[in-house]
Structure 1
Amino acid sequence: MGPSPGPGNRQVPRRRLLHVVRGRHQWRESLRLSHRQPPLVRDPRLFHPRRLRVHRQRHLDHGRGQAGRAAAFHQRRDGGASPLLRREIGTRRNLPAPSVGGEPREDRPRHADTGSDGAGAAARRRPARGHHPFQRQQSGRNGRSPMRIGVIGLGKLGLPCAVAMALKGHDVMGFDVRPDVMNKGRRSYTETGPDGCEPFDPYLETSTLRFGTLEEVVNHADLLFIAVQTPHDPLYEGITRLPDSRTDFHYEHLVAACRDVARVASRDTVVVIISTVLPGTIRRHVLPVLTPRIKLCYNPFFIAMGTTMRDFLQPEFVLFGRHDREAASLAETFYRTITDAPFYATALENAELIKVSYNTFIGMKIAFANTMMEVCHKLPGTDVDAVTDCLALASRRLISPSYLRGGMGDGGGCHPRDNIAMSWLARELDLSFDTFDAVMRSREKQTEWLADLMCAHEPPKVILGWAFKSDCDMATGSPALLLRAILEERGVPVTLIDPHMDSAPLVEDELPVATYLIGAKHSVFASLRFPAGSVVLDPWRYIPTDQDGVRVIPVGVGPDIP
């Protein structure tokens, strides 16, 4: 089965294209008759006076003969149309925006930035020096023109995405303020390849990704991605009780990175920020430190730790906060080499809000599913999986089945902290009701209920799996750690065991008789045999119940009907 047809492979409607080309032919015929005779124009939008000079030069360069006109037609039909024509006939059909990566950056005309609709923008729309308007560029592995990409920040987000970009045939160079991460050695954390299953390290080792100084990376790139953290105070991570105070994220690292990029940029540079921020942050904190050379966009990634490459290569959509239209056009050209997913361009503030709304909506879905789990656990004859399996079929109005399963509360480095930060914004805006606070309170109360279930049994307490999600070695925002905090608050000793987090391996014969709660749905636990006399509380409902001398309680399955 061949590759999915990208936007560049789509056929432009013949009638519409011939209408445009016919208009050009009529104009050319008018030139043959007399240079003083006005052109016979069918489409005034195409032949705006500002654009006639561009068409005249292309006409002279390309020749007036039938062969030249036929070549121009086939070039446009195959996706190689001039920037002007592609903007006129392809914008509404998602054709890729005109690439500006065909000529050396240092040879591009200099211009002052007068705004996306001013004279500077008009200058940027003219054909680049030394670039024939119908010339095809050398294709990368994906059949499209490779681009020079820079990535600032090579952490758990930036590095896998940089490798994914290189995998698509682009010339990628990365930089990080920590020199020890600028290598292709094995990572200390778990990450997967493009399929979400294979290990990430072999892809990194064989990648064409290169490393350089900040100045080298900035001046190498056609498109520069900044993947710098915007951390939150550990008090708002979601592993302790929700404090009464609220606060925004910390933007010092992001602002410093943007300032440094602006300082070393020697030419016009398209910069794409991918870090999570609250609405208004980029305009308030980032734009003031930039120079006119920096053309900025905001492009937050929707990825999950552990499957970063897969989620980057197979997104639901590509979100873009547009500050400079030409920069957004170049970014869309790049993304058409990565995915056929919809490209959603909007204002900066909208994009900032969409990103945190997406994350907090997931927390709301999980809180709702866990509420159904508690209802079913107390209601005879009910099973939360049966309930949520049916709700997941309502894809028209309830969106998707993802995150709609009863289990532990929301976790990770984004979701709990984003809810708390949005609760801060709700207070700043004096919202009539703080939904984000309600989601976090619900998460905390549901964890308290799980603590109640554990305390109802006598044996010592053990949380089995304290990573924030299944088969993962990261504990940021883990709901299991919140459960431990609540138990310790009650004076109940608790032991944490996790084969993905502990240095020692899990030995089945060494497990004590205890009250176990499965805090993370690690696949290895499904085949685990617990010691006789133990109680196992399973909020994921996947532990076998037929274990001799062991009471396995599937949380979310109600008692039998009398």
Structure 2
Amino acid sequence: MSDKLQKIIDARGPIKKIGVLGMGYVGIPAAALFADVDKFEKVLGFQRNSASSGYKIDMINNGESPLKGEEPGLEDLLRKVTDTKKFECTPDFSRITELDAVTLAIQTPFKNPADLIPDFGALIEGIRNVGKYLKPGMLVVLESTITPGTTKGMAKEILEEESGLKAGEDFALAHAPERVMVGRLLKNIQEHDRIVGGIDETSTKRAIELYSPVLTKGKIIPMSATAAEVTKTAENTFRDLQIAAANQLALYCESMGINFYDVRAGIDSLKGEGITRAILWPGAGVGGHCLTKDTYHLERGIEIAGEMPLDYPKNADSIYILARKVNDFMPNHMFKLTEEALAAADKRIKGSKIAMLGWAFINDSDDARNPPSEPYRDLLVEAGAEVMVHDPHVLNYPNVEIEKDMESVVKDADAVVILTGHSEYFKLDPAEVKALMGKDQPVVVDGRNVIKPEEFIDGGFVYRGIGRGDIN
């Protein structure tokens, strides 16, 4: 612990003014919740006034959420904290000088997962902006998912270079990774336990002061900055591994001609003291900003944060990387199911009209980051299919036309393929869908176990579904 830093913090007093860099799925709800805390006086949300995202500034300041899809309570909370002037969105980064604490919630994608090199460009720009206006006694917290070793490595170096101050002596530095899922952002921030890892005890203590007032059910779990980085990347890696296990089992069930969902129910029924058989659901693929890359962050952490050689079976593949490959394969399997179903109706992919239902990677959301629907569509187009896409929440996507009218997408289609479990797809009526398609043997391929196969088969459809070896 640095006595110098603690004395500076004591002289500055409690955290009153907070800044949040990055007005996206993490930054917006986090900033709104900070602003709703009585002990905090002011929250500034920092957003570049760029051509692609500058529109968010006016929307947020008018109490409107730029996030689409269902986010319970978010817009009401935004309206409340902007009306009371406790929350303001600004493109003026010089106002960082007004603050006691700054958090960074900026995306950290990979340029190319094959080489495990993250694209920290936007995050580095944000860190430099903070460093330029950093004052003694301030707290800086990285919420972005990062490669283990980044906080006390690259981030610390940039902040010290830009500010002329020293982390752990002149300012506090910590990592407190976000743990949210679209569709329940506010709930997750308030109710999930918060991992807080400072580069020293003083930094951890100051970060705990920042996050504690926001929590309702969740508790603070303190640890080192590197341990916090590993916790975040590992929890997403484990979820990806669990999904891959379900996907592989579904492929096994298809091969053996049995119903995955019967097997899953049997596995899940084994309960009792000391018994854990957590099994997730298979599907058309894994998308999103986190699960598709965090495995590689964790793997690269061995290089960045490793202090001794890794002891691991010689020449053995990482089970985490193998899980990634399984999940990345599922859009290819969806293509194979589509091809088989069309063949059963005496058709080929080439020249067929395919109606894709769902572009977002998660149900009832507009989050279309790294969607498995994209590689699936690419395979169809490459094979010569005519493809139309429906999604009720995604407004636009680069180089892909997304329709809001489902009837126009399904009309005259040879195959309807479900890629996302949006609520309205659960209501699909076989007779109505068949009438729209106008085919004697229409095809339906279900990648999310949305429809009841028997009803569609009885209605004259050729059906294929992930894990449904009993019917496929």
User: Helix, strand or coil: the match of 2:118?
Assistant: coil
Q: CA deviation at 1:468?
A: 0.9
Selected match of 1:214 from 82, 93, 103? 93
Q: CA distance change for structure 1 residues 382 and 155 in 2, over 3 Å: closer, same or farther? A: closer
Unaligned runs of 5+ in 1: 1-115, 132-144, 237-244
Decide whether the 8 Å contact of 1:451 with 1:483 is kept in 2. yes
Report the residue type matching 1:522 in the other structure. Answer: H
Distance 2:173 2:273 in 1: 36
Decide whether the 8 Å contact of 1:385 with 1:406 is kept in 2. no
Selected match of 1:349 from 216, 220, 226? 226
Distance 1:427 1:325 in 2: 25
Q: TM-score, normalised by structure 2?
A: 0.77
Decide whether the 8 Å contact of 1:468 with 1:520 is kept in 2. yes
Q: CA distance change for structure 1 residues 449 and 259 in 2, over 3 Å: closer, same or farther? A: closer
Decide whether the 8 Å contact of 1:369 with 1:388 is kept in 2. no
2:370 corresponds to 1:477: yes
Distance 1:549 1:358 in 2: 44
Q: TM-score, normalised by structure 1?
A: 0.66
Q: CA deviation at 1:373?
A: 1.7
Distance 1:435 1:493 in 2: 37
Instruction: Map Cα deviations across residues 46-94 of structure 1 (whole Å, 9 max, x no partner).
Output: xxxxxxxxxxxxxxxxxxxxxxxxxxxxxxxxxxxxxxxxxxxxxxxxx
State the match for 2:341 in structure 1.
457
Q: CA distance change for structure 1 residues 485 and 209 in 2, over 3 Å: closer, same or farther? A: same
Task: Map 1:171-190; keep pairs closer than 5 Å.
Answer: 171=41, 172-178=43-49, 180-183=55-58, 184=60, 185=62, 186-190=64-68
Deviates most, 247-256 or 481-490: 481-490
Report the residue type matching 1:259 in the other structure. Answer: R
Equivalent pairs counted in the alignment come to 413
Q: CA deviation at 1:394?
A: 5.3
User: Helix, strand or coil: the match of 1:286?
Assistant: helix
Identity %: 21
Report the residue type matching 1:175 in the other structure. Answer: F
State the match for 1:79 in structure 2.
none
State the match for 1:242 in structure 2.
none
2:304 corresponds to 1:435: no
2:36 corresponds to 1:167: yes
Decide whether the 8 Å contact of 1:306 with 1:472 is kept in 2. yes
Instruction: Map Cα deviations across residues 76-122 of structure 1 (whole Å, 9 max, x no partner).
Output: xxxxxxxxxxxxxxxxxxxxxxxxxxxxxxxxxxxxxxxx1x44256
Higher relative contact order (CA 8 A, sep 6+): 2
Task: Map 1:178-257; keep pairs closer than 5 Å.
Answer: 178=49, 180-183=55-58, 184=60, 185=62, 186-190=64-68, 192-193=70-71, 197-198=72-73, 200-207=74-81, 208-212=86-90, 213-216=92-95, 218-233=96-111, 235-236=112-113, 245-257=114-126
Selected match of 2:144 from 275, 282, 298? 275
Cα RMSD over matched residues?
A: 3.1
Report the residue type matching 1:279 in the other structure. Answer: P
Q: CA distance change for structure 1 residues 257 and 513 in 2, over 3 Å: closer, same or farther? A: closer
Q: CA distance change for structure 1 residues 457 and 390 in 2, over 3 Å: closer, same or farther? A: closer
> Larger Rg: 1 or 2?
1
State the match for 2:176 in structure 1.
299
Distance 1:307 1:508 in 2: 31
Report the residue type matching 1:480 in the other structure. Answer: S
State the match for 2:445 in structure 1.
537
2:25 corresponds to 1:156: yes
Distance 1:399 1:286 in 2: 39
Unaligned runs of 5+ in 2: 395-401
Distance 1:122 1:222 in 2: 14
Q: CA deviation at 1:516?
A: 2.3
Q: CA distance change for structure 1 residues 310 and 489 in 2, over 3 Å: closer, same or farther? A: same
Decide whether the 8 Å contact of 1:383 with 1:558 is kept in 2. yes
Distance 1:535 1:426 in 2: 47
2:112 corresponds to 1:259: no
Distance 2:245 2:323 in 1: 9
Decide whether the 8 Å contact of 1:376 with 1:384 is kept in 2. no
Q: CA deviation at 1:202?
A: 3.2
Q: CA deviation at 1:273?
A: 1.0
